[in-house]
A and B are shown apart, each in its own frame.
Chain A
Amino acid sequence: MSMEVESPPITPLPPSSLSLSLPPRPDRRLANQLRPPMCELGPLNRADGSARFAQGQTSVLAAVYGPAAPRFSRKERVEGAAVEVTVHPHYGLATSSEKEKEGAVKALLEAAICLERFPRTVIHVICQVCEDNGGLMACLMNAASLAVINAGIDMKYVPLTVSMALISPPSATMKALPSLPSSSSTTAPTSSSTYLLLDPINEEERQSIATITIGISSVDQNVLSCQSMGIMMPSQLFEAIDVAKGAAKALMAFLRMTIEEHSRHISKEK
């Protein structure tokens, strides 16, 4: 029955202009710019693997213990390792939103790790949110992936995660929600367009129509995970996936450099 509603276009922003239809981002980035990533491998001595990953002022410390014998035999899985994730929030006690994040990180890692190599073991991943300024889900996933790589647990590929926000500039007459197929098409905003912002900060996430976090595989650019909050059209989702693939390439280059640097340091190869 669906009445096809033309989705408002997502204009890929020309790289130069910060003029004028789009207000500048609070930290003066362009719409297609990530915050500078920071990565530290192996900050924790006792963990099998650990990593601190930060993008701008969002920072997560992840530790991995495993593969280890499970405490309760009911947790054993005969066909492969079980992955357990714990996310500790920035402050306060863990709530159901942390549980949701844990589930998402677990799904990503279960896809990436070669679980069948470690049957009847458990891989514990503990993530501590150190700072939160937007794009937390992506930071959590990246930190967890790096910690698993640091632990030397076999993985099929490197999962890279990027977060985006779909915003509509305040020049629109009203908060531009893309209209649902059932409603009349006249409410679809015509003059304003929605923009996709890469790596949003808290302020931008709050003002956005939707936020979306997409995990991409480093090997064949497949989508590994997708969490979204808000309303978006299918075409906007696919645009977001394309943007995420591009951003994942940039992140992968950064990770590659980091890990090469780290490997060369610790192996005495100068």
Chain B
Amino acid sequence: CRQGSAVVSRLAPPQQVRLDADKETQTLSVTWEDGHASTFDVEILRTELMEMVLNETVGVTEDQSTGKHQWNWTSPVPLECTSLSVKVRSRDGQDVSEWSSQQILPGLDLPDNTDSQMYPEGKTVPVGSNMTFCCIVEEGQQFGSLWYKDTLVKENMLSRRTYATTMTNQGPSNPSGTNVVCSNEKKMIIAGAVVFVGYPPLPSDLVCETHDLISVDCQWSKGRDTYLFGMTRQTYYTLNGRNCPKARNSNMRCGLEQWDGNWTLVARNLLGEFRLTDAAELGHRVRPVAPVNLTTPEVYSWNASVGWLWKDKVKSLNGCLSGHQTYTGYGLNTVVLKDLQPDEKYSVKVRCGSQKNFWKWGEWSLPLSFQTKMDRPVAPDIWLWMDSDNLGRVLWKPLTKSESHGQISGYEVILWSPEENSQQTLTLPRSVYSLPINVTDRGSKVTVTARNPAGVSLPANIVIPRYLPDAEDTAISKVAFNGSGFPLSWVAHANASCGYVVDWYNTSCTQDCNVEWIKVAADNTNTMVQSGNFLAGVRYKFSLYACSSESTVLLERWHGYMQELVPSRTVPRLSPNQEGADVQLTWDQIPLEHQRGFILGYTVYLTNASHLTLLANITDPQLTNHTVRNLVLGSYKFTVKAYTAAGEDGGATVSISLEPYTYWLIMEILVALGTMTCLLIVITIAFTGFSFSIFTILWKTMPGTGLICVCFQGTLDVKPSPHSMVHIVEDSVWDSSKEALVTVPEEDEEGTGDEAADTDEPASLRYYNQVVEEGSSSQRRPHASDSSASSTGSMDSGHTDVTYTGIQTSACYRPQMQSASCPEEPQTGPEEHLQPPVGSFGGYQPQCSWKQDSPEADGDGLDQTCLGSPTSVTSSQFLLPYDTSEEGKEYPSSASTWFHNLLTGKP
């Protein structure tokens, strides 16, 4: 604040200072008189708090007419917010006058104005502008807070009751404006204001045109959203000074009654205005009105004429568009529509444009419907399918809408003799598309025609092809579906003057098959067979015929699947056939309709519970048998599955229980008995002079086992086969009246190290206990640790049978020594040596846990284990039942089973 000089100024202070406020624009106008200067100091204070708002030196010239000085100031704060004190003094360089008397512009926060208020209210400002809002608190209340939208803003105190905040860079408002509210200390709203923040209008793309060569129709784009709504804030438009009341929302158009050639559009709202201009000649902006009164004076099968009328001057225009065809001509009012379809309903509408200086197409006329007349149908697509030498079916495809040219009333079939001198004519209703025929003469021809109310079609002819059953197929190759169809290609045939025919049908169909066909032009040697009737898992046979006027010749055949699936059923008639230790499985091929794919082969599995072990993969689909070799006795399940490219079928399963080959055994026994008889006779004759007796029993090797079991009694020193041994066993089912002498397969003795020493013995006799204990193996008594104990245990069982007495041999007898190393079955592959399922055979096992307890047995040498010279031996403890548990698995051979069964009389 500049202070005045102590020297008395020669300048007089301004007089009659007056304040005028324009609160809407927040402008304060200060006027004074008697300044006699052109420079003045102006000082503005907030009256209540005496805060300086403005202290500025301004240049103001005197208005010569009134003799007053006037200076305007725009307050950033609404003038209602609080009272302002204004004083002015004259300045001439450093010389200043005294201050004028202070003038006060009263605010609305004076005590007599007790209500809460907020300013400014309802103002419209451009986006990005800054504004100061003030809240005058009601007398007696305490100010709380100021909110702009939903944001708490910082306030400044302008007076005892007035608080203000300044918002900068305001964003666009919503339609009802931005709320600014003031609350008291109780957070109750006491006052508020609304400000509308938006944009001035910014339209674009003004285009004016005429529809009737007289008036003007202008359109433009609204452009940027103003964010301002309501009667006072919305945008108003004028075109060449005339209001456009219908220009609202998105309908930005305005019309004038006369063509001016130049147009100016003014868009205006509270924030500003924008001007757009356009200029054009009348003939360059013609967009004709729609033609009226469309008529069809002439309608035929393949064409029709359409006429229309014009309004006013538009008839002098050139060019019209009808439907999707363009016709031109001066004053065009009728056109002929070509390339129509007979018996078809059409709807036509017309729009026009100026051919010269074309601007835009006019509006469409109302549509006019008409129907073309019928015409005779096209010749049907026919084919002849031979079911046998003389029987066949004439087939033809239903005519489509575009082919029938009207409602088909029926078909006529003519069967010609080879010389075409006789014919047989049949008339069929429109719903029939095939006719069975009996052809006796080769070279016969068939003619089919279709009929509708407009006439008869051209004849469709075909020469009856020769019937070729499948057996005569020289070559039928596979064709794969490629996703859209079956691609077929072939070598061109010289005698295909009228092209080729490819027909196809379901191969497994035997009667009244659905035959489809396509015809291929003579110059094509490939085609793609497509049909909506193709089904997955169905084999189709495709036949290619060369067509000529004289004959129809089969050229080639294919078959294929749209999609291969796994067979829908298992191989039929699966049966096993035992051949000694082998089993031959045989089966039939799956019927074609169940194959659902090309059978690629078969897989043979051994089934054990739910587990399948692959035995063989037969890749020849024609081979329908398989032999599983080297099976041991027992029950087996075999599963045979056919497979296609999609996978295997569910599998057919068959069971077999292997049994000794009875007839061969009987034969061998008889031979052995005969041999023995002969030998006895020879010995009797040869040793007549000697005083000794011979008692011999001889068994010959059992089939498949190579086992010889020999027992001698007497002084004859005959060394038995090192592999000979005797097993005496009892069936798992106790039968005290029967005993079983079972040969042990040679394989059972092999592969165990401990057994090697035994095989060196002259005679290795092994005894199996015949004690049969009821119950499971877990209930079985522990293996005897000595013979007496075993005997006792055996006796205790109550079922002990003293099974063997008097087996004597020249070799010393050695009881079983395998105490800790019980021989186990050698593991073999399923093919080489298959084991029956566990528990499939009940029997006895070697006395694996036997231990010597006699003093003689304590010796190390084998000799010490001998029981002495051949003597009568009585034992009741050397035979143990087979253990079916995991430890000590041992199964009798097929021979032993057979022999056991033979002796016990079982089949």
Answer yes or no: do A and B interact.
Answer: no
Chain A residues with CB under 8 Å of chain B are none
Chain B residues with CB under 8 Å of chain A are none
